[in-house]
Amino acid sequence: MFVREKKRRNQDVSVATYLQLVENKRVEGRTRQRVLCTLGRADDPKLRADLGRLVSTARRYAEEEALVVDASTRMETKTWGPHLVWGRLWRETLGPILEGELFPERLARAVYLMVLGRLSAPRSKYATFAWAEDVYGAGFEELELHDLYRALDLLAEKKESLERAWFSQHRNLFTDTDLLYFDTTSTYLEGAHPEGLAAFGYSRDKRSDRRQLALGVVLTREGLPVPHLVLPGNTADPEAFREALSYLREVLGVSRAILCCDRGMVSEKNLAAMREAELPYIVATRLRGSKLVTDEVLRQAGRYEEVAENLQVKEVNLKEEEDRYIVCLNPLGAEEDRRNREGILAHLEEKLSGGSASGLLRGAARRYVRIQGGVVALDRAKIAEEARYDGKWVLRTNTDLPPSEVACAYKGLWQVEQAFRVLKTPLELRPIYHWTESRILGHVMVCFLAFVLRQLMAKRLAKLGWRGSFTELLSALGRVRVTVLRGKGGQTFRLRDEIPAAAMPALHAVGMRAPQRLERLD
């Protein structure tokens, strides 16, 4: 039933509006409206008073509506969307690990608060604690600020146990642990502490004015994180790789996975360590500066096999080498290298013809010039040598995989670079303001756990065929709020906002249906 307006034209051409009580009925498959009664003219003051008494009487039988209009009703509005989705994923994956023997329930909840904050709107620990008051249904009300800092210290202490439990209890998620990717990056700190960990080193963030940390991450073929390592900022990549190798073997018990890494990790010492451990590997080698690559691998004749779009490979077997070498060629990349080189040469010739030699011995230009008798000139032999590298890279492996699989496996290394971008930008790993080692390690672990949940969500969304923007999805979740209504009689109702369409894939990914728009809680 509902009230509708009915307009009638009087004999004097004026229009009168009447209120009618109407109900919808289904008659022979069609909806018909039946007027139950006419309440009176809308402009009649007596009718308004009568309707007020009617509403007041009907409120006894409509509790939800009564709460909304009752002046004594207490209302509280909070954010619900982020916890609604990430909380479900946390309880299914990482939550049981922390809430077992590793962490007291209170500190496990503090960890979840910090992880949720990283995924929703990264901020300082103090600001995250204040933000917790606006989160509905997560049980953060009992936490105090010091719980967050205690949780950071415990995360640092339990790092190995946590990652070992994550790897073993959820190993069924790692369907491709036969291939693991490893790479390193750096992040910077504000301040000079802690000594031994914060150190000046090469900064990938172009912040050489700040002390650095070295961060190594291991991912599976599908992009799922396994462990991470935090090392002093002046740690060289080969040394970081040895630390990762030791961690995988001794802490996680990885024995047969194929390790894949970039050329910066390669050293004969590292390769010898992997061979001694009987671990298979796929690594890139340096093109320039290696006589073996330039004089033997690249000079050996052979036909390329096309294995993917813009990817051709050929295998080179050297009699005295234990490892196999795979030469990879990207035709589009080769054309781009050629055009770039021709542009540099045109600029060099212009400068040389004008009698200027300034800047010719710096950067890429120095590859193409020579000095003879104090005269700078183009070196045609070097130019021809550089052309041999166009669009090529060389892989080295001790596996028996076909060349096509070796090349395709190595191309998946881009996922580690993507992991670093996610950790540094949306999750805001940097800059780090903590100054004790345990707090720094705990902060990095919080960011890493947030990255784990994000990758798990991305994997589930991909299975649904979702191709949207992760940023828009998170923003849409953040707009879902809930209002809790509490009446003086003790009745409690929850009224949620409309869930944006952009947020619905996240609910589907964790197997949830949208909660009821209005639900009684008491």
Extents of the domains making up the chain: 2-61, 332-387
- pLDDT per residue as tens digits for the range 431-448: 999 989 999 999 999 999
DSSP label of 369 = E
Looking at residue 65, its pLDDT comes to 53
**C-alpha closest to that of 297 among 419, 395, 367, 229:** 395
**Phi, psi values for residue 432, rounded to 5°:** -100, 125
Q: Would you say 240 and 176 are in contact if contact means Cβ atoms under 8 Å apart? A: no
**C-alpha closest to that of 136 among 449, 480, 471:** 480
Looking at residue 362, its pLDDT comes to 65
Question: SS3 string of 40-70?
Answer: EECCCHHHHHHHHHHHHHHHHHCHHHHHHHC
Strands 281-285 and 392-397: antiparallel
Low-confidence ranges of the chain (pLDDT < 50): 69
Residue with token string 């640092």: 156
- pLDDT per residue as tens digits for the range 85-116: 999 999 999 999 998 788 999 999 999 999 99
Q: What is the pTM of this model?
A: 0.82
- Compute how many other C-beta atoms are within 10 angstroms of the C-beta atom of residue 143: 18
What span, in angstroms and rounded, lies between the C-alpha atoms of 256 and 270? 16
